[in-house]
Amino acid sequence: MIVNIILAFVMFGVALGIKPGTFKDLLRNPKSVIVGMLMQWFLDEDFRPEYPERVAAVQFQNGDEVDEYYVNMMRAWYFATALAKQYDAVLPLIEARALDPWTHNKAIQKSVESYRITEEQKAYLKTLKVKKK
């Protein structure tokens, strides 16, 4: 009960800092929010193999480098979390290099930093990094 009350105050405080322009930006480009929702709710019992395929297929199109960074970072976090929770189902996409090189390497980096990935898995994932030219 106490935790719920504290969480409500924290969320209210965060909401006070949100400006109307933030909602406009989200409506214009909801991809990072959608990826975050998939990560939050659909990597456990509601997981389906097509979800990571859809995240891998997300492409950024408005040319804004800042927004592109955040979308790709969200995709990398999604895959790092997916590797921790659904390793066998997600690994083939990493092996096939279904992501762009930056996102691919960032997902591996975040996975290797995770305590939820075994040392064996970390060692293998490191071999899958895309070498920079």
DSSP string, the chain: -HHHHHHHHHHHHHHHT--HHHHHHHHH--HHHHHHHHHHHSSSTT--THHHHHHHH----S--HHHHHHHHHHHHHHHHHHHHHSHHHHHHHHHTT-S-HHHHHHHHHHHHH-TTS-HHHHHHHHHTPPPP-
Q: What's the pTM?
A: 0.71
Domain boundaries, the chain: 29-127
pLDDT value of position 17:
67
pLDDT (tens digit, 0 to 9) for every residue of the chain, 133 residues total?
677 777 676 666 666 666 676 666 666 666 566 666 666 666 777 888 887 888 888 776 655 555 678 788 888 988 999 999 999 999 999 999 999 999 999 999 999 999 999 999 999 999 999 987 6
